[in-house]
Structure 1
Amino acid sequence: MRRLFYASFAYMIVGVLSGLFYREFTKLNDFPEGQFTQLGLAHTHLLTLGFIVLLIVLVLEKVFTLSRSRLFGWFFWLYNAGVILTSAMLVWHGSLTVLGQESSKMIAGIAGTGHMLLTAAMVLLFLALGRAITRDRAITPDRANGSPVDEPAVATRA
């Protein structure tokens, strides 16, 4: 659980710093305000995919103890590799745009690999979550699925 907390916190810091870099780098290079560059996308990817999603996964870990599953470890490392790879390519491509240089298909290919890692990680997360929900349902059946539940004792007056 601490790993998720620290990773989320690190993405929050890096996401905020990438926004600062975006603003200052474009100003420093007299990049026209309002013109598109992928530097802004790096900022939002890091904050959303890194910070916010991992905070949500932290809550899911607290509720369902997802880390019991071996799939969760795979999710964590693949997901982080995907976020880092994708964000790094956004920064690289965005920086080239600001500097007026041509990008290459290699950058797009590496960014695509990052997105594939993110997709694979999300599949693993949902598999681990599905198993955790099934495990919890087997331990504590509820009325929603028609299983009996112990009723609390109710005092009656005679």
Structure 2
Amino acid sequence: MKKVYWAALSYMVLGLAAGLYYRELTKAQEFTGDTQLAVAHTHLLALGMLFFLVVLALDKAFGLAGDRLFTLFFWFYNSGLALTAAMMLVHGTMTVFGAESSAAISGIAGLGHILITVGLVHLFLALRKALPAGKEAR
């Protein structure tokens, strides 16, 4: 359970830092257009901090943390979210500086989304396994 708490806390710090980075970079460069930096902040807070706070409650209710499926969820999801957020920051920074984007950035971000999906599948498998069985559980 503690690793889920630390993940939520880490994403809170990263989300707030991403918001500060967006604000200060665009102000320093006098940039007024659209950039992915604007949504990196909310992605990290929602998909990171808030999501892991919900997972913390689910872990408390169902004791998921000891299960192998939960461990797989945790590492797939975190690696996918970190990769996706990093590519948002790279792409957004390139936009602010007027640099041309590349297909590699989109491909790596896509890989991050795939890892998030694999992680979510493992979370739902762990939840299904942890739910009580039988008629009385309906």
TM-score range, shorter chain: over 0.9
Deviations 1:59-84 (CA, angstroms, capped at 9, x unpaired): 00000011232110010011100110
Identity of counterpart residues, as a percentage? 50
Q: Whose RCO is larger (CA < 8 A, sep 6+)?
A: 2
Which residue does 2:133 correspond to in 1? Answer: 137
Structure 2 letter corresponding to 1:88? A
Q: Are 1:107 and 2:97 counterparts?
A: no
Quote how far apart the aligned CAs of 1:43 are.
0.8
Q: Indicate the structure (1 or 2) with the bigger Cα radius of gyration.
A: 1
Which residue does 1:150 correspond to in 2? Answer: none
State the alpha-carbon separation in 2 of the partners of residues 103 and 27 from structure 1. Answer: 21
After superposing on structure 2, the runs of 4+ consecutive aligned residues of structure 1 that deviate more than 2 Å are none
Structure 2: stretches of 5+ with no match in the other structure? none
**1:13-32 matches, cutoff 5 A:** 13-32=13-32
Instruction: Indicate the SS of the match to 2:65.
Output: helix
Scaled by the length of structure 1, the TM-score of the pair is 0.84
State the alpha-carbon separation in 2 of the partners of residues 67 and 30 from structure 1. Answer: 46
Which residue does 1:126 correspond to in 2? Answer: 124
State the alpha-carbon separation in 1 of the partners of residues 93 and 115 from structure 2. Answer: 23
State the alpha-carbon separation in 1 of the partners of residues 31 and 122 from structure 2. Answer: 41
Structure 2 letter corresponding to 1:27? K
Select 1:69's aligned residue among 48, 67, 70.
Answer: 67
What is the count of residue pairs matched by the alignment? 138
Structure 1: stretches of 5+ with no match in the other structure? 146-158
Which residue does 1:151 correspond to in 2? Answer: none
Q: Are 1:52 and 2:50 counterparts?
A: yes
**Greater fraction of residues in helix:** 2
